[in-house]
Amino acid sequence: MVNKTGLENDIKYVLLDEAQLKDRVKALAQQLTEDYKGKNPIFVCVLKGSVNFFSDLTRHFKDYCEYDFLAISAYGNGTKNSGIVRINKDMDMSITDRHVIIVEDIMDSGLTLNHLTAMLRERKPASLKVITLLDKPARRECAITPDYYGFVIPNEFVVGYGLDYAGLYRNLPYIGVLKPEVYE
Ligand code: IMP
Ligand code: MG
């Protein structure tokens, strides 16, 4: 593999390749198009990890919808959830009486989404659902399940397609498992 870059050398194996991601994301968008017909939902992108998923998901949603963004951090630069969720940037729009779909990259302990959904419910949306590309149920620390998910994955630390380790690897077009020696 002489042409491998340093970036790709940090990947132990590809868990989900570009074709798998594309097919699944398109299917999820078709499902949402049916479920939200005539509802003009607000898709909320949880920055930064969800950007790639958000962008591919919404481009296959075939009805009226609006976008908003919020930034939240729970991890710092490590791979374990500290349990502390910080809102770095709130949404711009009012979600009262609106149908809201939170778009997340991964549900791990679930603490981030637990906190986020509780916070957004106080704003009295007409409905609030969560879609996550990846679900790691083995690590759940609270009673929360996604309304929609792309893939259930094993308990491995993954990067790519928006997901990072220490801010890096988001630009990989696939989801890969990071070599443990990169973060140990
Ligand atoms: P939770 O609060 O433990 O569910 O963590 C959710 C957030 O942790 C995600 O939105 C990611 O930003 C980050 N995270 C959890 N697992 C991974 C992983 O395997 N790779 C990269 N980021 C992860
Ligand atoms: Mg995230």
pLDDT tens for each residue of 73-117: 765 555 566 566 778 999 999 999 999 999 999 999 998 899 899
- Tokens 């419910």, located at residue: 121
The distance from CA 119 to its chain's CA centroid, rounded to whole angstroms, is 18
CA of 105 from ligand 2 middle (Å) equals 6
- For the beta carbon of residue 90, count every other beta carbon within 10 angstroms: 11
Note the pLDDT tens digit of each residue in 27-52: 999 999 999 999 999 999 999 999 99
User: Do residues 155 and 139 touch, judged by C-beta distance below 8 A?
Assistant: yes
Write down the residue that tokens 């077009």 correspond to.
173
**Cα 72 to middle of ligand 2, angstroms:** 7
As a whole number, mean pLDDT of residues 13-17 equals 98
For atom 11 of ligand 1, which residue has the closest CA? 106
- Give the Å distance between the CA of 37 and the centre of ligand 2: 27
**Could you say which ligand is closest to the alpha carbon of residue 72?**
2
Q: What is the predicted pLDDT for the residue at 2?
A: 46
Indicate if the pLDDT at residue 137 is higher than 60: yes
Read off the pTM: 0.93
Q: What helix, strand, coil percent values describe the chain, rounded to 5?
A: 25, 30, 40
Alpha helix (H) residue ranges in 108-151:
111-121
Residue 181: strand, helix, or coil: helix
Kindly give the number of the ligand 1 atom that is closest to the alpha carbon of 114. Answer: 2
